[in-house]
Structure 1
Amino acid sequence: MLTPEQLVASQKANMETLYGLTAKAFEGVEKLVELNLQATKAALSESATHTQALLSVKDAQELLALQAGLFQPLAEKAAAYSRHLYDIASGTSAEFGKAFEGKVAEGQAQFAALVDNAAKNAPAGSETAVAVMKSAVAAANNAFESVQKAVKQASDVAEANFAAVTTSATNAAKSASAAAKKR
């Protein structure tokens, strides 16, 4: 049986975990706000610079060259912004995942201890029921671990696909910019 001290310690640990996760969530939001402020400042500055350049254009050829030179940096900046955004989201998600895995492992250990304790105090003749219960717990733990591995693999594939798409978009923008400059 659980003692009042164990219950208090468990509640305290749960509150500390909750506060820690809340702090991580706020860190993620702070990073997101900082990223958006930097992107907005850079966009305003570049917009002013580009407007000044547009006002000094003397002919259509120069205008086309100016516009062509805008596409490549714009695509690279969009890709970099997306990458930073993804890094913030995945970092925050990883922190939540670690906390969740820790709590699940802790819960599994506590449940296994409970089952072992119940097995020790079980009446004679209940060995089969205890063995079935232990087998079910082991199967549930194995299933959970399999799901965790599948989610990790899917996350790795998604990250690789994101990197590939970012590279493709940047390369396409470079090609379009080069083609426009040749005209």
Structure 2
Amino acid sequence: MSVLTPEQIAENQKAVLETVFGLTNKLFESFEKVTELNVQVLKQTLAEGQDNARKVLSIKDPQELLALQAQVLQPAGEKALAYSRHVYEIGTGLQAEIAKVAEAQYEEQNKKVQALVENVAKNAPAGSETAVAVLKSAITAANTTYETVHKATKQAVEIAESNFNAAATAATKAAQQAAAQASRAAKKA
């Protein structure tokens, strides 16, 4: 009893290559997005640095310096946070694509294993029903374990995303408070 024909092996190899190339393309797309984001941030940072240097050179008293510091502090924190969020979104998008491919591969392999087990069950000699039942039970247990791990992973990703959002909110509030304190200090001076 032959399990796979040469044509099936060739089809499987072709599917694997297509999957690898597809994932490689997604990886490079994400790399391009991060690179474009970094170039954009670098250009913006250089322009703002140049503008801030001009402002610092035109300052005539310490109060203006404190006011400028307060003016620059909050947007810088918010921009850093926005950058982090953008990189996080790119990463989670890539992770979602990889998970989708992995799930599709798992489902396809699961179908093949089920078909193989059914074929073995049909062609099994008399008296081997117990062995076939054990094999089916093992496959069911593996599928149940996969589903449990899959659900736990999804929950972990949701928790991590929630924690990231909470940290981002806290960082924004801290930056706003620091800017407000610097502004008050500038007014007092």
Is TM more than 0.5 here? yes
Aligned position for 2:82: 80
Three-state SS of the structure 1 residue aligned to 2:77 is helix
Q: Specify which structure has the bigger relative contact order, considering alpha-carbon pairs within 8 angstroms and separated by 6 or more residues.
A: 2
Deviates more, 1:92-101 or 1:71-80: 92-101
Spell out, residue by residue over 1:77-135, the C-alpha distance to the aligned partner (whole angstroms, 9 max, x if none): 00000000000111111111111111111111101111110011000011111111101
TM-score w.r.t. the length of structure 2 is 0.95
The alignment covers a number of residue pairs equal to 183
Q: How does 1:1-183 map to 2 (within 5 A)?
A: 1-183=3-185
Identity among equivalent positions (%) equals: 54
1:175 maps to a residue whose letter is Q
Runs of 4 or more off by more than 4 Å in structure 1? none
Give the letter aligned to residue 5 of structure 1: E
3-state SS, counterpart of residue 58 of structure 1 = coil
SS at match of 2:125: coil
RMSD between aligned alpha carbons? Answer: 0.7
User: Quick one: which amino acid aligns to residue 109 of structure 1?
Assistant: K
Residue 69 (structure 1) shift: 1.2
CA offset at residue 165 of structure 1? 0.5
* TM-score scaled by length of structure 1: 0.98
Partners of 2:37 and 2:20 lie apart in 1 by 26
